[in-house]
Amino acid sequence: MRRREFLKISGAAGLAAAGGYAWFHAEGGRLRAGEDSAYKAWSQWNNDEGGTGIRLVRAAVVASSPHNTQPWRFRVGEDFVELYLDTRRSVAGLDPYLREAHIGMGCGLENLLLSAAAHGLAATVTAPSGPLDAPGPALPLVARVDLAPAEPKYSELHEAIPHRHTNRSVYDRSRELPAGFAGELLATCEQVDTRLFLFEESAAQEALVRISSAANLALYSDPKVEAGSEQWIRWRASDAERLKDGLTVQNFGLPPATATAVSLMPLWMLKRASAPKQRTEMYERQMRSTRLMGVIAVRDRLDRRQSLQAGRAWQRAHLLATARGVAARPCNEAIERIDHERSLGLPAACQSALGQVLGDAMWQPTFLFLMGYPTLPPHRSPRRTAQMVEMG
């Protein structure tokens, strides 16, 4: 089982009724996110204790993060903050060039910049460019933010930071998104070397479903990809509490009874209960429930700075959706498959298929997402605190 999969588990409701209360008592009810130290970062996101720099980091650490790997480290000075990528915190074969990791760094950077503006600081960002497929250090600098006093600039995106959570539940396709929302998204994500493609028509959406479904099956037939993803699943609340990262069962978008049942089952049983065909059908159902699909594209998908910019665009898009009461989630199998094909020396079939949907060869897709109204509320993800990721 992987984080993208909705499980079809026989007798899930019965298991939940029989064992749910016992499990919650045994685990201390910790999957009710927010009641223990694995979730404190969400309530501390705007705490000013420790100075300005660490306050900005507190906002950064609750940003969107691929597979919730939280690959960031921060060096805080009196008038600057530096962001470093911890290359050890990766999903291995699923992200062979650390492209998604850099996108996650961009998400953290965007939260940091929004916090700086809200607290009266002008920020100047310096981010090195270069190819992602070239060798580099284990802890590369991805951005430096120099800070200077300025007038505070409040924004609804900043206010949405603690409320933004990925929602992987099935969406309610019968509900239309707010009037003008697509235009707001386009304006919010506009920046140099980044373009947002939005798809609301059924033909284009169905093409993306087919491409993503095929990519999902192809990716997870590779044991290295499977292992890279599995290492970030926190099956028990005690694991989330100890590690403060990864994806819990509550983050899968499952109904509460099913999520509780899954948490009670041993891993070998989960894998037996989740056949490839069932997984694919449920994955496609989730995609087809959305009102809006989007693709963030850049000029060069394997450029460090452009990947960072793509992450900033996704963070702003997700924060805007949160402010409008709209749910959102990444849906990146097709993009991951592009990297996977390249790393194995295979023909660029997935890149070609996505390029046909975009219809503009000048732009390379680097992030695919879904938006709509959810049928289930989201759950917070476990997070390391600012102090845990600050470099001495």
Continuous H helices in the chain: 12-26, 40-43, 52-60, 99-118, 156-160, 181-189, 202-219, 223-230, 237-243, 256-264, 267-273, 276-288, 304-323, 333-343, 349-358, 386-389
Residue boundaries of the structural domains of the chain? 12-27+165-372, 38-161+381-389
pLDDT at 31: 37
Q: What is the pTM of this model?
A: 0.90
| Backbone angles phi and psi of 219, in degrees to 5 | -60, -50
DSSP 337: H
- CATH number, domain 12-27+165-372: 3.40.109.10
Q: Residues 6 or more apart from 239 whose CB is under 8 A from it?
A: 246
What does 296-307 look like in DSSP terms, one character per residue? EEES-TTBHHHH
pLDDT at 270: 66
pLDDT at 276: 54
pLDDT at 322: 98
38-161+381-389 has the same fold as 12-27+165-372? yes
Q: Topology of 38-161+381-389 in CATH?
A: NADH Oxidase (3.40.109)
pLDDT at 247: 93
Q: Render each residue's pLDDT in the chain as its tens digit; 392 residues.
A: 444 443 344 333 333 322 332 222 333 333 344 446 899 999 999 999 999 999 999 999 999 999 999 999 999 999 999 999 999 999 999 999 999 999 999 999 999 999 999 999 999 999 999 999 998 899 999 999 999 999 999 999 999 999 999 999 999 999 999 999 999 999 999 888 899 999 999 999 999 999 999 999 899 889 999 889 889 999 888 899 999 999 998 888 888 887 777 777 777 776 665 555 666 777 788 899 999 999 999 999 999 999 999 999 999 999 999 999 999 999 999 999 999 999 999 999 999 999 999 999 999 999 999 999 999 999 999 999 999 999 97
